[in-house]
Amino acid sequence: MVQLYIQEKAELEYVYEAKTSGASFLIRRAEILRQGRLVWNESIIGTLQQAQLSIFLDGEGAQAEVKTAFRGQEGQQDISTEIVHRASHTESSLYAKGIAEGKAKILHRGKIVIEKQAFGCVGHQKTDALILSEEARCQALPILEVHNDEVICSHGASIGQLDEELLFYFLSRGVGEEKAREMIVEGFLAPIAGGEQDASL
């Protein structure tokens, strides 16, 4: 369990990596006060039962930026992130990219909640995933729960398969198939793993 408290005008960048070979249950929570800012970078790899992240923007002007990279080969991953805007003029972004391969079954849920008394808020989320085998499954559920009209919000999700043309490009230049697939995966995850922000978010 991880619990973070971001005090008034404080800034924190938190980097978290979970590599699991058995079942586990992760609970993470953060509270951000007035004009505080949290950048949360996480990587979840392996066989994971469940991971929950809850962030509460409790003070005016609070900000949260969450970037999640996930990758599963076997078993099930249930990854849930919720950001709750409790105060006005707060901002959040949730950006996730993941890989499902082997026999993995992955569910990624992102939720942004803007409460009735929180005006002038901005909240964006996006999830992109690649499926690399016929038996792998991945489901993305982006959710917006907005209780007033003075907000700017967006959400989206995409799930696709490996780009065969890109794979052929690597193979035609003498790169082995296994290496080529890994290079494509690394490139796909780079906006998260490299700390970059997707311009379309």
- The tens digit of pLDDT for each residue in 83-108 reads 999 999 999 999 999 999 888 899 99
Q: Where are the domains of the chain?
A: 2-161
The burial of 76, by beta-carbon neighbours within 10 Å (0-12 exposed, 13-18 middle, 19 or more buried), is given as: middle
Looking at residue 193, its pLDDT comes to: 66
Least Cα distance to 45 among 28, 66, 14, 24 occurs for 24
Least Cα distance to 16 among 45, 41, 37, 52 occurs for 41
Contact 122, 155 (CB under 8 A): no
The burial of 161, by beta-carbon neighbours within 10 Å (0-12 exposed, 13-18 middle, 19 or more buried), is given as: exposed
Count the residues in the chain: 201
Selected residue with higher pLDDT from 23 and 100: 100
Contact 141, 129 (CB under 8 A): no
Q: How confident is the model at residue 200 (pLDDT cuts 50, 70, 90)?
A: very low
